[in-house]
Chain A
Amino acid sequence: QSALTQPASVSGSPGQSITISCTGTSSNIGFYNLVSWYQQHPGKAPKLMIYEATKWPSGVSNRFSGSKSGNTASLTISGLQAEDEAHYYCSSYAGGGTMLFGGGTKVTVL
């Protein structure tokens, strides 16, 4: 199965909102609500930011929000801050006991 499709990069100024898309198919994102988003700073492990498409883990800022429509999931970062500069990855359950990750999006704070 192919990886989920994310834009390579997204940028915004401090205080702005940005949205990262994650496009799959009717066999993964479109069928299951099991979409997650991870933030990864250089040299660090990924950190869970959103799970089940729209839910926040404990301790994650509500400036991060998730949504899903059809075969596309999205992560919105509101009130962009310098510390948000990182790579972001989506993932989805793909049925048959397997899962997929997106290729990652580099977020740059201008």
Chain B
Amino acid sequence: QVQLQESGPGLVKPSETLSLNCTISGGSISRYDWIWIRQSAEKGLEWIGRFDKSGVPNINPSLRSRVSVSMDTSKNEFSLKLTYVTAADTAIYYCARDPGSHGHDWYFDVWGRGTLVTVSS
């Protein structure tokens, strides 16, 4: 059974870069698309972006200037970087899987437990 685990610092200072990893266990990273989603009280659930099985990133236009995603198949891990963070980026960050059985399926059948990231000095 595939499991996802987010990891990274829980506290980031304003204007710095938020870096998170998602480790996949129990399955191959190469067969699916991998997604970052965040959840805050202010904005609810927000799709951040994906790294698809073809190696192509796709980022929410509202975050495109600050977000990059990548994948390390040797570690079965994919990553998120969000630059120039502000308090508005405080949220629970989830990684998830898009089965990608028909290109991009745009539904997420496996989720990590989430990691809370707080932006504060």
Contact-residue bracket for chain B: 10 to 19
Interface string of A58-101 (1 = CB under 8 A from B): 00000000000000000000000000000001011100111111
A89-B45, A101-B45 known; A45+B112 contact, CB < 8 A: yes
- Cross-chain contact A48 with B109 (CB below 8 angstroms): yes
Of A34, A96, A98, A103, which contacts B107 at CB under 8 A?
A34
In the assembled complex, the CB of A46 is this many whole angstroms from the nearest CB of chain B, namely: 6
- Separation of A60 and B25 alpha carbons in the complex (Å): 23
In the assembled complex, the CB of B26 is this many whole angstroms from the nearest CB of chain A, namely: 16
- Cross-chain contact B105 with A51 (CB below 8 angstroms): yes
Query: B51: CB under 8 A from chain A?
Result: no
Query: A57: CB under 8 A from chain B?
Result: yes
In the assembled complex, the CB of A79 is this many whole angstroms from the nearest CB of chain B, namely: 24
Could you name 10 residue pairs across A and B whose Cβ atoms are closer than 8 Å?
A: A34-B105, A45-B113, A45-B114, A48-B107, A51-B105, A91-B45, A91-B107, A97-B58, A99-B106, A104-B45
